[in-house]
Amino acid sequence: MLILASQSPRRAELLSQIGVPFTTLSADIDETILPGETPEIYVQRLAKQKAQAGWQASADIAESRLALGADTVVVIHEQALGKPKNFDDAMRMLQRLSGQKHQVFTAVTITSGEHCESILVKTEVTFCDLTPSQIEEYWQTGEPQDKAGSYAIQGIGGKFVTHIKGSYSAVVGLPLYETNQLLSRMSLAHEC
């Protein structure tokens, strides 16, 4: 049995897209960036902690199980952009992304409790130039309010993307190819 340690509807949709049966559980962890922690290390640490928390929380569901944790962060000039606190924060983030290339890092960890496998997928995204009125109009849709970097590539925010180099599904929140590869490896490891 696979436990998705996430309440993200996007991750659930993506996992369903590749035909993987799963149960979702919330993984409550502290998502504070540690002093000196790079975005790559940060996102990998959170994915691992979410997987471990999901595995532990699912003990009463199934004895033989795998837990999947994932995290995504938007990075520009080596600085992680989290979810916006308010409109001004979203305006600041989207102005930084305007007309620029940025990276989206998504880490995925799968654990069986004893064995753990992780991957980090980096995708480059380029935005068009955005005006303050476009940003305000986008904010009013409600979409950017709970998204890393203040945008959703799979939603209205996709209209700002001029180019993508890498995994589209990783930008949404779960890299499908790499996740499928991890699941294949972990299934074999789990059965041994």
Which residues are designated catalytic?
71
58 Cβ contact list (under 8 Å, min separation 6): 3, 23, 25, 65, 67
- In DSSP terms, 122 is beta-bridged to 105
Dump strand ranges (E) for 98-154: 101-111, 116-127
Helix (H, G, I), strand (E, B) or coil at 90: helix
- Side-chain half-sphere of 180: how many Cα atoms within 13 Å? 12
For the beta carbon of residue 16, count every other beta carbon within 10 angstroms. Answer: 12
